Amino acid sequence: MRAKAWSAIVVLTCLATIAVAQEGHPIVGSWSGTWSPTPKDKIPVLFVMEWKNKAIVGVMNPGLDDEAPARAVLDSANWTLHIEADSKKTPGGAPVKVVFDGKLEDIGSHNRTLTGTMSRDNLTGHLKLTRE
């Protein structure tokens, strides 16, 4: 009888460990990093992404004090990601298109990274984000 009880405890412990290890969609979460539109600039950037109704949506703060709703498309065949947002940071309040194209790396790691380029208005530069 004791052997069955210990076996049940071991099985339940293993199942609990597996359940905790599941992370869901690889893009979901908070991503932060720096955008370098020029070699000397290091502008902090934050993306918060979620999986909602079969779509990746979230909020992007492209580092210039203007957050915007974002939508993303993940190509899981090669782990590339395309994110777009319309921020409102012109003097007249007109939308400014923000586009990020990058590759998801270290997919098995909790602190996976997104590396690529981000364009905002007429500026384009390197962007590296790490999931927090």
Q: What is the pLDDT confidence band of residue 14, given thresholds at 50, 70 and 90?
A: very low
State the amino acid at position 116 in one-letter form: G
Rounded-to-integer distance, Cα 98 and Cα 4, Å: 59
**H or E stretch at 16:** helix 2-21
CATH number at residue 70: 2.40.128
* 83 in any annotated domain: yes
* 92 in any annotated domain: yes
* 13 in any annotated domain: no
* 11 in any annotated domain: no
For residue 101, give its domain range: 25-131
Tell me if residue 28 falls in helix, strand or coil: coil
Spell out the SS3 assignment of 40-96.
CCCEEEEEEEEEECCEEEEEEECCCCCCEEEEEEEECCCCEEEEEEEECCCCCCCCE
Greatest pairwise CA separation for the chain in angstroms:
76
* 2 in any annotated domain: no
Q: Tens of pLDDT along 53-95?
A: 878 998 888 666 677 889 999 998 999 999 998 887 667 777 8
pLDDT of 17 above 50: no
As for how many domains the chain has, the answer is 1
* 5 in any annotated domain: no
Average pLDDT, the chain: 80
Q: What is the pLDDT confidence band of residue 18, given thresholds at 50, 70 and 90?
A: very low
State pTM to two decimals.
0.74
* 1 in any annotated domain: no
* 68 in any annotated domain: yes
